[in-house]
Amino acid sequence: MTTTQRTHAADVEAITRVVARVEHSQQQELPDEFVGLFRADAIWTTGHGRRLFGRDEISAFTHQVLPGAMRDSTVTYEVEHVLFIRPDVAAVKVRAQYRTPEGKPLGNPGSPMYVMSKEDGEWRLTACQNTEVIDSV
């Protein structure tokens, strides 16, 4: 394995840990943990198309909707693909699935896209969009 391959493998692991923290913060309804994963100037588009600009706006929205959101369900996130645009910028395709408390799929899956940047050695959410997957007929 080359140095570049080892670096990419370590970065993919670090990115996967960030996505796991997104999952944890949402499952446990921890808005401050969730918001802490973003750059200060991040862009977030919710699954319903609401556009949020900057950590302050993301925080205000998240503090409004996250507490109580997992009362009757939970959510899981899985990294599907990582494309390094540059060594410090990655496009991360994620599979999201809301689930019943028993773990059965609930509703349509999600297909978030997270553009992440490496800031002071830490991967941060930078420009993200959630998208619900609707099966076509």
Q: What is the pLDDT of residues 44-80, one digit of tens each?
A: 998 889 999 999 999 999 999 988 888 888 999 999 9
Q: Output 132 or 1, whichever has higher pLDDT.
A: 132
Has residue 7 got a pLDDT over 50?
yes
3-state secondary structure of 42: strand
Structural domains in the chain, sorted by start = 3-129 (3.10.450.50)
User: What pLDDT does residue 106 have?
Assistant: 87
User: What pLDDT does residue 83 have?
Assistant: 96
Q: What is the pLDDT of residues 84-131, one digit of tens each?
A: 999 999 999 999 999 988 889 988 888 999 999 999 999 999 999 988
Please state, rounded to an integer, the average pLDDT across all residues of the chain: 91
What are the structure tokens assigned to 28, written together? 């446990």
Buried b vs exposed e over 99-123: b needs ≥16 C-beta within 10 Å?
A: eeeeeeebeebbbbebbbbbeeeeb
User: What pLDDT does residue 137 have?
Assistant: 47
3-state secondary structure of 121: coil
Measured CA to CA, the distance from residue 104 to residue 124 in angstroms comes to 30
Measured CA to CA, the distance from residue 91 to residue 72 in angstroms comes to 31
Has residue 4 got a pLDDT over 60?
no
What radius of gyration do the chain's Cα atoms show? Answer: 15
User: How would you classify the pairing of strands 113-119 and 89-99?
Assistant: antiparallel
CA 18 to mean position of chain CA atoms: 8
Model confidence at 31, in pLDDT bands (50, 70, 90)?
A: very high
The amino acid occupying position 18 is: V
